[in-house]
Amino acid sequence: MPYDTTGKVSLDHIYTQADPRAYFTTLREFEYCIPQLAAPYFADLIRQRQTRLGRTVRVLDVGCSYGINAALLNGGATMDELYEWYTDPIVGAMDREEVLARDRKRFADGQSRARIVGFDSSRPALDYAYASGLLDETVCADLETGDLTESQRARLSGTDLVISTGCIGYVGARTITRLATVDGDHRPWMAHFVLRMVPFDPIEECLRAMGYDIELVDGVFRQRRFVSDEERDQVLDTLHSRGIDPRGLEDTGWLYAQLRVCRPPGSAGSTPAADGVAGQHQPRG
C-alpha cells in the first residue's frame, strides 16, 4: 500500500470513483468516524452564525468528497446508517444510476440546516454529491497548485462558515488562504478537524496575519483505526519526531484529530459544544 509523508496510508483511489460505494466499503473496515464526531460541533457553529446573521448560513465544506458532512448535517443521516446504506449487498449489484436514484429519494426530505457548497479536487465525487441533492453547489479545484476562476469565485462568494474533516494535510495554507480571501473583506469563520500529526502552524500563521483568532477546542477525536501495523509504526514515528506524545491515544490503534475554530476579526462567538452527544469525544487525561 502507498503511504504519504506522515506515514499514513494513501486511499486516493476511493476518492475518485463514480459513486460512494468503494468509499464506504473501505472506510467502514477502519471505522472512519470523524464526520460523525464533528457534526454536532458544526451544527452548533451553524446555529451561532444563524443567530448572528438572521438568515440561512452558507457553509463551504473543503474536501467534501461525496457530501459526507452534508449527509450528516442536512440529510439526517449518521455514519453508521451510511455504512449500512452503501454496503448493502443489494446496492453492490446496482449500477451508478440506480444507486443515485436511491440516494436522491433518501435525501429529498432532509431537514436542511444550511446551504452547503462542496469544494474538492475530485470531479466524480462532486458530481455525485450534487446529483444526489446533498450539495447545493460545487467547486472543483486544486488550490495547492492552481487558482480559482471568476466563476468559481462567484460560487464561493458569501461563505459564512468553512468546515473540514479529514482534509487538512491534503490541503494546506495555500488553499485555506485563497478560500479566506475570496470575498474582499468578508472573511468566513472556519472549523477544521485536523489529525494531531498534521502541522496546522502554516495555516494558523496565514490566518493570524489576516487578524483571525484561532481556538484549539478541548478534547481529541477519533478519526479511524490504523490500516496496518506498518501504518501505526510509521505514524507513531512521525508523532515522536514532532514531540507529540501518543500514549493513551494513537498507541491504542487509532488516529486522533483536534478541532480548530478560526474566527475573523470583530466576530464574537462561543466555543462550540456537542449538544446532547456527551461521550462522543474523548477528553485527554
Which residues of this protein are in contact with ligand SAM, per CB under 6 A?
15, 34-35, 63-65, 68, 120-122, 125, 142, 144, 165-167, 170-171, 175
Letter string b/e over residues 164-191, b meaning 16 or more CB atoms within 10 A of that residue's CB? bbbbbbbbbbbbbbbbbebeeeebbbbb
Minimum CB separation from ligand SAM for residue 107, in Å? Answer: 16
* Distance of closest approach, residue 52 Cβ to ligand SAM, in angstroms: 25
Question: Is residue 61 classed exposed, middle or buried when 0-12, 13-18 and 19+ CB atoms within 10 A define those classes?
Answer: buried
Give the nearer residue to ligand SAM in terms of CB position, either 35 or 272: 35
Minimum CB–partner distance for residue 116 and ligand SAM (Å): 12
Nearest-approach distance from CB 16 to ligand SAM, in angstroms:
7
Q: How far is the CB of 67 from ligand SAM (least distance, A)?
A: 9
Q: Enumerate residues 6+ apart whose C-beta is below 8 A from 98.
A: none
- 138 vs 238, beta carbon nearer ligand SAM: 138
Decide: 191 and 261 in contact? Cβ < 8 Å. yes
Question: Based on CB atoms, which residue is closest to ligand SAM, 175 or 238?
Answer: 175
Q: Which residue has the CB atom at the shortest distance from ligand SAM? A: 63
- Beta-strand relationship, 254-263 and 213-216: antiparallel
Toward ligand SAM, which CB reaches closer, 67 or 133?
A: 67
Q: How far apart are CA 235 and CA 60, in angstroms?
A: 29
User: Taking the complex as a whole, how short is the minimal distance between the CB of residue 268 and ligand SAM, in angstroms?
Assistant: 28
Q: Which long-range contacts (CB under 8 A, 24 or more apart) does 102-105 make?
A: 103/132, 103/133, 103/134, 104/131, 104/132, 104/133
Q: Are 28 and 222 in contact (CB under 8 A)?
A: no
| 34 vs 134, beta carbon nearer ligand SAM | 34
| Closer to ligand SAM by Cβ: residue 142 or 183 | 142
Nearest-angstrom CA–CA distance, 1 and 30: 15
